[in-house]
Amino acid sequence: MDDKFQKITDLVANVMEAYTAALFIADPLGENLALFRHSSLSKKIYSHCLLKSGDGLIGWVFLEQKKLLASNFERDTTTLKIYKKDEKIKSLMALPLASRKGVLFVDSKKSYSFSEEKEKIFMQLADIASTLIKDQEMIVESFFMGKALTAFSRIEEYLRFNTEPDLSRVAAMFEDGFKLSHLFIVIPGLLVFSHINGSGAQKSISTTHAFEFYSADGLLGWCLKNRKKIIKKRISANKQFLLKSDEEFGDINNFLGIPIINFGKKSGVLGVVRDKPMEDGLPFQEDMWSSKEIDIMEKIGKMLLHNMT
């Protein structure tokens, strides 16, 4: 990612003559705000500030989707949740970004610092910031969709010419195309396969061994039993498991389970984990599983199921 977001934040700070200008970006569900870029004269800012929607004045602006202008701010500025210590801020302004993308914030150590003219300029800068965020989301999504489609094409070609495929090779293509750290393929009574960080692989094609590596009570089993996709951002190893209760995967982030249904034949389930940050992604973007990605993985899963059964 280039520094265009830092440039717009610096521009906001200079044009508004602000003590601090800050750009917050919201997660896709609108539950959290992350401080993405800031330009400030303060050395007391939480550079990794994360706010809940509704938390503090900035969180309130996002939750209510309303502008905030405080011309004579007389509170301890630590209540803003971005400063470690009081900075004697006297005025501030914050705007929700279009399409619930986040919040643009400025403050000043002068009372009545933001005139009506500056307020109009601030609104225009907020529109620019919103557009930049949307553009960046599209750029990153397009890049990773390109990798996903390439992986689909490679796997499809490989399966077409290999009736007994090496699943480790398939997993490597999966990992590269979808930025995965874990891949699980389960066809109950036939196959259990796991691939972790490009290293560990565990495969069974016999009913007896498959039973040893898979429990229907795990998340993958739930997904198959209920024939529903499942997305979990956090999985605690001492509370839940994927394949079997004594597995040693540890805590897991960003798990996706996809049931693979082939009516008239065996059914299976595909489980993936994206535990790696996505290069050039915006805050929270690494947590997203786009519907297009899920559709492509489901198609790959059905090709595997057809091939294996």
Per-residue pLDDT of the chain (309 residues; tens, 9 = 90+): 558 999 999 999 999 999 999 999 998 788 899 999 999 999 999 988 999 999 999 999 999 999 999 999 989 999 999 999 999 999 999 999 999 999 999 999 999 999 999 999 999 999 999 999 999 888 878 888 898 999 999 999 999 998 888 888 898 898 888 888 888 999 887 888 888 875 554 554 444 455 567 788 899 999 989 999 998 877 888 888 888 888 877 788 788 999 998 766 789 999 998 865 555 567 766 556 778 889 999 999 999 888 887
Q: Is the dihedral of CA 280, 286, 291, 292 positive or negative?
A: positive
* Secondary structure element (H or E) that encloses residue 186, with its range: strand 182-187
Burial of 120 (0-12, 13-18, 19+ CB in 10 A): exposed
* DSSP 8-state assignment for residue 100: G
* Domains 4-136 and 162-308 alike in fold: yes
Domain ranges of the chain: 4-136, 162-308
Contact 247, 286 (CB under 8 A): no
Question: What pLDDT is attached to residue 285?
Answer: 62
* Architecture in CATH for domain 162-308: 2-Layer Sandwich (3.30)
Question: What pLDDT is attached to residue 264?
Answer: 63
Q: What are the φ/ψ torsions at residue 166 (nearest 5 degrees)?
A: -80, 105
Burial of 229 (0-12, 13-18, 19+ CB in 10 A): middle
**Tally of residues, the chain:** 309
Place of tokens 């805590």: 251
Whole-angstrom CA distances from 145 to 2, 38, 276, 286 are 20, 30, 16, 13
Which token pair is 60?
A: 């309130």
Contact 22, 80 (CB under 8 A): no
Which token pair is 234?
A: 């956090």
> What CATH superfamily classification does 4-136 receive?
GAF domain (3.30.450.40)
User: Which distant-in-sequence residues (6+ apart) come within 8 Å of 111 by Cβ?
Assistant: 71, 72, 73, 90, 91
Question: What pLDDT is attached to residue 204?
Answer: 46
